[in-house]
Amino acid sequence: MIKLGCIADDFTGATDLANNLVRAGMRVVQTIGVPAEPLAADVDAVVVALKSRTIPAAEAICQSLAALAWLQAQGAQQIYFKYCSTFDSTPAGNIGPVTEALMAAMGTTFTIATPAFPDNHRTVFKGYLFAGDGLLNEGGMQNHPLTPMTDPNLVRVLQAQCKGKVGLIDYRAVAQGEQAIRTRIAQLRSEGVSVSIVDAVSNDDLHRLGPALKDMPLVTAGSGVAIGLPANFGLAPNASASQLPPASGLKAVVSGSCSVATNGQVAAFKRAGFPALGLDPLQMASGANVVDQALAWAAPLLAKGPVLVYSTDEPSAVKAVQAQLGVEKAGAMVEHCIAAIAQGLVKLGVRQLVVAGGETSGACVQALGISQMQIGPQIDPGVPWCHAHSPLTGAEGLHLTLKSGNFGRESFFSHAFDALA
């Protein structure tokens, strides 16, 4: 019987959450979609990775309810709906509609919502979401091609997506600890609030919040809240939770994220002298065999160290391509191409693979036929190495990391491999 059952709205977000749970002492397996087979290991928590962040809300609800039913069948004592620390959503959803659908299915009338993740500079104060020292809508997220975040006020953002009333547990209650938080929850419930944003500006805030959530059937959050939950089940940090098999084989990086952080990581990798190949979406659209060209380029270079294949660009360039091809077509085409390249790289002997971008990660793990991943040691906050079995690798499996576009230091693409050495 598992203790914590998690539903993540994208693949990198799932590993980000799993990483925090492992660091706090939980043994974690991440599944790709709702499992069709038994779990591969005896674990404390399961994170079901969906690809539901930007699909129509009705589809996201359907997938999330299927994940909920499976997790409940495994005996999950608490459910955690995980979304991005930048609260990626639009007035149509999907955070609000999925949250309310899960609440209805579970028969619960109150939950919390907070994307706070101080380790990655995402903090919430008086209901406003900050990225670093600035408001969310001032740091690049306002230009996100799929979920532009133009309002940093999370109460307003979530209220636009919810039928129920949205409230706020502010920093004053959080600073006073568990009892004050519980008192504020009781007050909000008496006022008819069903979902409450929670302020958190530090890990201490998240640890104070954790005990107050012990009896809450459903928690919704980014990955930050996870650091305060394992203790509710009597678990503490331990090294054995993150052990993976030894790493071997060739190394590669594929990137489809267009975030500010990933653009910097691509540039840093190239400046360091590593081989990198940029992909042209318009060339893909013209019918050119971009996949075979990329693999032919990579094949003679892999033996010398990691290579990078990327379709990462500045927002203005991305919008220009979207204007010609359409937003959905451009995104799907790039994901399909990079996933096919990842598949080809593994066939060439790559057994240590870095994937950047949530949508890209989802496409790659599906192309590799991966259904479950064991979560290992952290590389950077929110980004662990994982080990998985694929039909392309035989019994040895492969090590891979799925990096959210916004995460990781500038040198991530090169130093990630040092964590496995």
pLDDT at 262: 93
Calpha distance 259→248 (Å, rounded): 30
Q: What is the mean pLDDT of residues 172-196?
A: 98
Query: Token match 């005996």: residue?
Result: 75
Higher pLDDT, 159 or 286: 159
Q: What is the mean pLDDT of residues 67-91?
A: 93
Instruction: State the virtual CA torsion across 220, 61, 67, 236 in degrees, nearest 10.
Output: -10
Calpha distance 322→207 (Å, rounded): 42
Calpha distance 204→108 (Å, rounded): 27
Q: What percent of the chain has pLDDT over 90?
A: 77
Average pLDDT, the chain: 93
Does residue 209 carry a pLDDT above 90?
yes
Q: What percent of the chain has pLDDT over 70?
A: 100
- According to DSSP, residue 302 is labeled G
Calpha distance 243→266 (Å, rounded): 29
**23 three-class SS:** helix
Does residue 198 carry a pLDDT above 90?
yes
pLDDT at 283: 87
Q: What is the mean pLDDT of residues 350-370?
A: 93
Instruction: State the virtual CA torsion across 224, 230, 231, 237 in degrees, nearest 10.
Output: -90
pLDDT at 46: 97
Calpha distance 316→51 (Å, rounded): 26
Does residue 171 carry a pLDDT above 80?
yes
- 135, HSE (Cβ side, Cα atoms, 13 Å): 12
Tell me: the pLDDT tens digits for 21-37?
999 999 999 999 999 87
pLDDT at 123: 97
Does residue 322 carry a pLDDT above 90?
no
Lowest mean pLDDT among 84-98, 114-128, 198-212: 84-98
Tell me: the pLDDT tens digits for 374-387?
999 999 988 999 99
Cα distance from N-terminal residue to C-terminal residue, the chain: 34
Higher pLDDT, 331 or 68: 68
pLDDT at 11: 84
Tell me: the pLDDT tens digits for 138-149?
877 777 777 778
Tell me: the pLDDT tens digits for 224-279?
999 999 999 999 999 899 989 999 999 999 999 888 899 999 999 999 999 999 99
- pLDDT-derived band at 286 (thresholds 50, 70, 90) equals confident
Does residue 110 carry a pLDDT above 90?
yes
What predicted TM-score, i.e. pTM, was given to this entire model?
0.86
pLDDT at 61: 98
Domains in the chain: ranges and CATH: 4-237 (3.40.50.10840), 244-420 (3.40.980.20)
How would you class 237 by CB atoms within 10 Å of its CB: exposed for 0-12, middle for 13-18, buried for 19 or more?
A: middle
pLDDT at 86: 85
Lowest mean pLDDT among 85-99, 165-179, 331-345, 406-420: 85-99
pLDDT at 90: 79
Q: Which two tokens stand for residue 421?
A: 């050495």
**393 three-class SS:** coil
Our measurement of the distance from residue 65's CA atom to the centroid of its chain's CA atoms, rounded to an integer in Å, reads 19
Instruction: State the virtual CA torsion across 66, 16, 87, 47 in degrees, nearest 10.
Output: 10
List 28's β-bridge partners, or say none: 45
Under a CB-based contact definition with an 8 Å cutoff, are residues 201 and 171 in contact? yes
Instruction: Look at residues 384, 416, 380, 399 and name the one whose alpha carbon lies nearest to residue 19.
Output: 384
